[in-house]
Structure 1
Amino acid sequence: MPQTLLGPLPLDAKIHVAGHRGLVGSAIWRHLSDRGHTALVGRSSAELDLRDRAATFDFYAEQRPDYVVLAAARVGGILANSTYPAEFLSDNIRIQVNVLDAAQACGVRRLLLLGSSCIYPKFAPQPITEDSLLTGPLEQTNDAYAIAKIAGVIHVQAMRRQYGASFISAMPTNLYGPQDNFDLESSHVLPAMIRKFHDAKVGARPEVALWGSGRPRREFLHVHDLARAAVALLERYDEAAPINIGVGEDVSIRDLAETVRQIVGYEGPIVWDPSKPDGTPRKLLDVARIESLGWKAEISLVDGIRATYDWFKDHSPLAGAGDR
């Protein structure tokens, strides 16, 4: 095993942020840029399809980055995961395998693979510790995506064992913030709520219908906090085990909906549809390990939702004739 490469990221180090235009990647890119990093590398999916192995290897052979943050992924909420499980499995495994193999082949110093808290069993003890991985069955509505992300964790560990690579993986909780996906066919729960309440307010609709019972509990982390965590891990963490990134607090979906309704300013009632799936009953992460490294979430859920709604109104074409 080579000497550890921990310590401050050099401001002139070449850093490839894979998925730099998405919710997570764009936040990490902004944070690195604000810190003064001068050699950031990003390619849109139109410029570089990371599912294409030859193209990915050619890119890494040409660019030879020092660090990689693998934030590129096919993502979506319950509806998208349930409708397209084969694509979620295939696309994400190919992206991960190609990037990890190409990064190792060209001598990348450090790589951070970002996964998801959905890798943990559906009924894992709460809060969920990292050693819960592979101890029980997954939530069926997103098991294909979860299996792909679990494969990424194992691939990182295999790279460490076989090559001594200083690669790591981290599992964020539910993320939200600027650049989020507000499309109702593929979005996650929080941006979907923002969009639904906004549309109802603008359209003066008598009620808002939401999926499920509202009883499940979820934890939400603003992507600006996630970006700080990513840098902290590259600088301070070098272990084979995945590490959780979260807030350490959760909220019921019913209470979340009421908070979003108030922030958006919609005054009509909420109608719950219990015929739709709830997903995992609870998914709260144990964040003791990352907090022991000196990182802690700073943005409150109310402040984060308010800022995200402001971004949606100001930047998203889906906001339509919303209150600006």
Structure 2
Amino acid sequence: MSSATSERAALQRVVDDRDQVAYTPGPLDRDATFYVAGHRGLVGSAIWRKLESEGFTNLVGRSSSELDLLDRDATFRVIDVMKPRYLVLAAAKVGGILANSTYPVDFLSDNLRIQGNVLDAALAHGVERVLFLGSSCIYPKYAEQPIIEDALLTGHLEPTNDAYAIAKIAGILQIQAVRRQYGLPWISAMPTNLYGPNDNFSPTGSHVLPALIRRYDEAVQAGRDTVTNWGTGNPRREFLHSDDMADACLHLLEHYDGPQQVNVGTGSDVTIREIADTIAEVVGFEGTTEWDTTKPDGTPQKLLDVSKLAAAGWTSKIGLQEGLERTVAWYREHVLDLRR
């Protein structure tokens, strides 16, 4: 039997075995097997910490050296062995403006393959509850602010990260397709800009906030009195601590069931210039900040409407100042390992 035929047979068993009684969200079984794909990254590690703190006793994860999610056959085999009841897909190829602009093929192809492999394997093995995590970059560049979930596919994407966005949009549609075709209660969540422990602090591949933390901290350590940032500093961004995001994800798994993606954020934003000033203050930088306006700004504003999440009973708890202080402390504790 070919691999494709075997997959179709497995999917048919999902249909045949599926209990057609309507699914009602509620507390997850703390003893059930729960697979967190991407459990060592910024997002996945925060979800892992949250689940541990909430008493989940059978968490499973695989590092990239143990399981290459780009390998379809290996992904199917491992999920078959795990037999998870719940799954959060936090694994992805991620990066900032520079990385996305330089390697669009990688960001499109790798993310499509990771998502397809994990979600198809989860479907073939009848995983009951899946949460797919995307990004606020799925929305049009000039979407009306704050951005509602219905803005999806209503306009042109930001060209500096359109390849990544298209991959994430495909993931949302795959979740919706599974719901329509197989009746499984899978859901999607779209976090705003995240930061926190285990973030990518690379000078070439990171997002704006960890890049700023590293830049200002290195200036302090080196005794430099000037820091230069990309762009004008005028774009507005919303930032959510990863521990808040993880709390929201578990809340959605236990309280939400619907085909539409749910925005996850704070509902407020700041300019890049303001966040740079705050980071400078937290790390103790007392010099001058300059702005290289020959570099791109990206999307002018990206603020999520979080009323759908609020209606489900969740709001952000970690303020930006507190979150930055915690993140800078974590970075300084791990900086030597991060530079290796």
TM-score (norm 1): 0.97
Aligned to 1:204: 223
Give the gaps of 5 or more residues in structure 1.
none
For the pair 1:109 / 2:137, whether they are aligned, the reply is no
1-side partners of 2:109 and 2:21: how far apart?
33
Residue identity opposite 1:55 in structure 2:
A
**Counterpart among 58, 63, 85 of residue 104 in structure 2:** 85
Q: 1:263 aligns with which of 269, 274, 282?
A: 282
For 2:171, the aligned partner's letter is: G
Aligned length: 320
1:216 has 2:228 as partner: no
Q: Which amino acid aligns with 1:33?
A: E
Shift of 1:194: 0.4
> SS at 1:88's partner residue?
helix
Q: Find the residue that maps to 1:156 and give its secondary structure.
A: helix
Corresponding letter in the other structure for 2:117: N
> Using a 3 Å threshold, how does the CA distance of structure 1 residues 212 and 318 change in structure 2: closer, same or farther?
farther
Query: 2:201–2:338: 8 Å Cα contact kept in structure 1?
Result: no
Q: Is the 8 A contact 1:68 1:110 kept in 2?
A: yes
Question: Could you tell me which amino acid in structure 1 is paired with residue 53 of structure 2?
Answer: D
Distance 1:2 1:317 in 2: 53
Query: Which of 65, 68, 77 pairs up with 2:84?
Result: 65
User: What's the counterpart of residue 48 of structure 1?
Assistant: 67
Residue 251 (structure 1) aligns with: 270
8 Å contact from structure 2 (residues 25, 255) kept in 1: yes
Task: Report the CA distance between 1:86 and its aligned residue.
Answer: 0.3
- Tell me the distance in 2 between the aligned counterparts of 1:319 and 1:256: 22
Residue identity matched to 1:101: D
Matches within 5 A, 1:2-17: 2-17=21-36
Per-residue deviation, 1:4: 0.6
Q: What amino acid maps onto 1:233 in structure 2?
A: L
Supply the distance in 2 between the matched residues of 1:237 and 1:30 (Cα, whole angstroms): 21
Specify the SS of the correspondent of 2:161.
helix
Does residue 1:225 correspond to 2:239, yes or no? no
User: Percent identity at matched positions?
Assistant: 60
Amino acid at match of 1:66: R
Q: What's the CA shift for 1:316?
A: 2.4
| Residue in structure 1 matched with residue 184 of structure 2 by the alignment | 165
**Paired residues of 1:182 and 1:318 also in contact (CA < 8 A):** no
TM-superposed CA distance for 1:268, in Å, is: 0.7
> Who is 2:193 aligned against?
174
In structure 1, distance between residues paired with 2:244 and 2:59: 20
Secondary structure in 1 aligned to 2:147?
coil
Q: CA deviation at 1:3?
A: 2.0
Task: Note if contact 1:198-1:319 (Cα within 8 Å) is conserved in structure 2.
Answer: no
- Cα distance in 2, alignment partners of residues 153 and 292 from structure 1: 21
* Whole-angstrom distance in 2 between the partners of 1:274 and 1:315: 32
| Residue type at the aligned position of 1:281 | P
- Poorly superposed stretches of 4+, deviation over 2 Å: none
Partner of 1:290: 309
Is residue 317 from structure 1 mapped to residue 336 from structure 2 by the alignment?
yes
Find the counterpart in structure 1 of residue 300 from structure 2: 281
Q: Could you tell me which amino acid in structure 1 is paired with residue 97 of structure 2?
A: I
1:206 is displaced (CA, Å) by 2.5
CA deviations over 1:138-188 (Å, ceiling 9, x no partner)? 000000000000000011111111111111111000000011111111000
Correspondence 1:151 to 2:170: yes
CA RMSD of aligned residues (A): 1.0
Alignment correspondent of 2:213: 194
What letter is aligned with 1:135? T
**In 2, Cα distance between equivalents of 1:77 and 1:271:** 20
Matched, 1:100 2:128: no
Report if the CA contact (8 A) 2:34-2:58 is conserved.
Answer: yes
Contact map agreement 1:177 1:223 (CA 8 A) in 2:
yes
Give structure 2 stretches of 5+ with no counterpart: 1-19
